[in-house]
Amino acid sequence: MSDQPITDITAYMRDLGQRARTASRALARASTAEKNAALLAIADELDRERAAIAQANRTDLDAGAAKGLDAALLDRLELTPGRIDAMIEGVRQVAALPDPVGAITDLNYRPSGIQVGRMRVPLGVVGIIYESRPNVTADAAALCLKSGNATVLRGGSESFASNQALAACIQRGLATAGLPADGVQVLATTDRAAVGVMIAMPESIDVIIPRGGKGLIERISREARVPVIKHLDGICHVYIDDAADLDKAFNIAMNAKTQRYGTCNTMETLLVDAPVADAILPRLGAAYRGKGVELRGCQRTRDLLADAAPATEADWDTEYLAPILSIRVVDGLDEAIDHIARHGSAHTDAIVTEDYSRARRFLREVDSSSVMVNASTRFADGFEYGLGAEIGISTDKFHARGPVGLEGLTSVKFVVLGDGEVRC
Site for a copy of itself, rule CB under 8 A: 25, 28-29, 102, 108, 110, 112, 114, 116, 119, 121, 123-124, 206-207, 227, 245, 247-248, 251-252, 254-256, 259, 341, 350, 363-365, 367-376, 378-380, 384-386, 397-399, 401-403, 411-423
In whole angstroms, the minimum distance from the beta carbon of 227 to a copy of itself comes to: 5
Cα 379 to the center of its chain, rounded Å? 13
Tell me whether residue 157 or residue 370 sits nearer to a copy of itself (CB atom). 370
Tell me whether residue 25 or residue 192 sits nearer to a copy of itself (CB atom). 25
Tell me whether residue 79 or residue 232 sits nearer to a copy of itself (CB atom). 232
Tell me whether residue 207 or residue 311 sits nearer to a copy of itself (CB atom). 207
In whole angstroms, the minimum distance from the beta carbon of 331 to a copy of itself comes to: 19
Question: Largest alpha-carbon pair distance within the chain?
Answer: 78
Tell me whether residue 59 or residue 251 sits nearer to a copy of itself (CB atom). 251
In whole angstroms, the minimum distance from the beta carbon of 169 to a copy of itself comes to: 29
Q: Which of 351, 381, 371, 374 is nearest to 265 (CA)?
A: 381
Rg of the chain, C-alpha, whole Å: 24
In whole angstroms, the minimum distance from the beta carbon of 190 to a copy of itself comes to: 29
Phi/psi-derived region of residue 389, left when phi > 0, alpha when psi is between -120 and 50, beta in every other case:
beta
- Give the 3-state secondary structure of residue 354: coil
Tell me whether residue 121 or residue 391 sits nearer to a copy of itself (CB atom). 121
* CA pair distance 23, 139, nearest whole angstrom: 19
Tell me whether residue 67 or residue 360 sits nearer to a copy of itself (CB atom). 360
Tell me whether residue 245 or residue 319 sits nearer to a copy of itself (CB atom). 245
DSSP string, 289-325: HHTT-EEEE-HHHHHH-TTPEEPPHHHHT----SSEE
Tell me whether residue 50 or residue 399 sits nearer to a copy of itself (CB atom). 399
In whole angstroms, the minimum distance from the beta carbon of 307 to a copy of itself comes to: 25
* CA pair distance 33, 102, nearest whole angstrom: 13
Q: Which of 13, 23, 20 is nearest to 195 (CA)?
A: 13
- Give the 3-state secondary structure of residue 368: coil
Q: In this structure, which amino acid lies at residue 311?
A: A
Distances (CA, A) of 332 to 69, 81, 143, 277, 339: 48, 52, 43, 11, 11
End-to-end CA distance of the chain: 63
In whole angstroms, the minimum distance from the beta carbon of 33 to a copy of itself comes to: 15
In whole angstroms, the minimum distance from the beta carbon of 163 to a copy of itself comes to: 27
* CA pair distance 181, 406, nearest whole angstrom: 21
* CA pair distance 219, 240, nearest whole angstrom: 37
Phi, psi for residue 145 in degrees, rounded to 5: -65, -45
* CA pair distance 69, 384, nearest whole angstrom: 33
Q: In this structure, which amino acid lies at residue 11?
A: A
Q: Which of 70, 92, 80 is nearest to 162 (CA)?
A: 80
Phi, psi for residue 278 in degrees, rounded to 5: -75, -20
* CA pair distance 45, 89, nearest whole angstrom: 12
* CA pair distance 327, 315, nearest whole angstrom: 9
Tell me whether residue 355 or residue 384 sits nearer to a copy of itself (CB atom). 384
In whole angstroms, the minimum distance from the beta carbon of 110 to a copy of itself comes to: 6
In whole angstroms, the minimum distance from the beta carbon of 84 to a copy of itself comes to: 25
* CA pair distance 384, 374, nearest whole angstrom: 15
In whole angstroms, the minimum distance from the beta carbon of 48 to a copy of itself comes to: 34
In whole angstroms, the minimum distance from the beta carbon of 279 to a copy of itself comes to: 17
Tell me whether residue 13 or residue 121 sits nearer to a copy of itself (CB atom). 121
